Chain A
Amino acid sequence: GQNIDQPTEMTATEGAIVQINCTYQTSGFNGLFWYQQHAGEAPTFLSYNVLDGLEEKGRFSSFLSRSKGYSYLLLKELQMKDSASYLCAVRRGSGTYKYIFGTGTRLKVLA
């Protein structure tokens, strides 16, 4: 089957570092994506991993271990505007173009 698990909610303080974990089980893995979604808005693309290791983009980094079916999104120097839901999504290959999304992690950044 296909399954993506993320924590439902996390809370952190402004200026801190937070790590949001994602575990997945799927066939035909062809990349893992992280999206940010503010309340009432559409998701926006944050990062992409297809090979094992860490990808860094400014304050955001994403890590992937394909053998463990595990990824995390690391947010540094948290700002109030980072309060949002963070969606983990797996892209499946095998001739299809479908992305399977987790239910998202709602992050609250406190002053």
Chain B
Amino acid sequence: SQTIHQWPATLVQPVGSPLSLECTVEGTSNPNLYWYRQAAGRGLQLLFYSVGIGQISSEVPQNLSASRPQDRQFILSSKKLLLSDSGFYLCAWSVPKWGISGYTFGSGTRLTVV
């Protein structure tokens, strides 16, 4: 069966520090991978998605970047965190074709920038 791992679960970082969040998927090949952010009281905002190794699409201009160095690994990074980067970050995967399964989300990382 497919599983998705995301870590760390919580993170408190000072403003200006770097960030690296990692997500890995097991049990599937060539998944579509996504990074979402959920700010307090707000909906899920799509940050990046990837349909293959090295293929990254950015949805909104911001202080973050993403990379996909391996088929089942997706990394979210920042060189210098801002206070506004605080939020609940979710990695998700889906099959690379239309279907009824939708997304499967990782357990999320709660990031607090102080």
Q: A: which residues have CB within 8 A of B?
A: 4, 30-31, 33, 35, 40-45, 48, 50, 87, 89, 91, 93, 97-104
Q: B: which residues have CB within 8 A of A?
A: 32, 36, 41-46, 49, 51, 59, 90, 94, 96, 98, 100-108, 110
Chain A interface, DSSP helix/strand/loop, else mixed: strand
With both chains docked as a complex, state the minimum distance between the C-beta of A32 and any C-beta of chain B, in angstroms: 10
User: CB < 8 Å: which of A33, A40, A41 contacts B102?
Assistant: A33
Q: Does B103 contact A45, Cβ atoms closer than 8 Å?
A: yes
* 27 pairs from A and B in contact (CB 8 Å cutoff): A4-B43, A33-B102, A35-B102, A40-B110, A41-B107, A41-B108, A42-B90, A42-B106, A43-B44, A43-B90, A43-B105, A45-B101, A45-B103, A45-B104, A48-B100, A48-B102, A91-B102, A93-B98, A97-B32, A97-B51, A97-B94, A97-B96, A98-B46, A99-B103, A101-B43, A101-B45, A102-B43
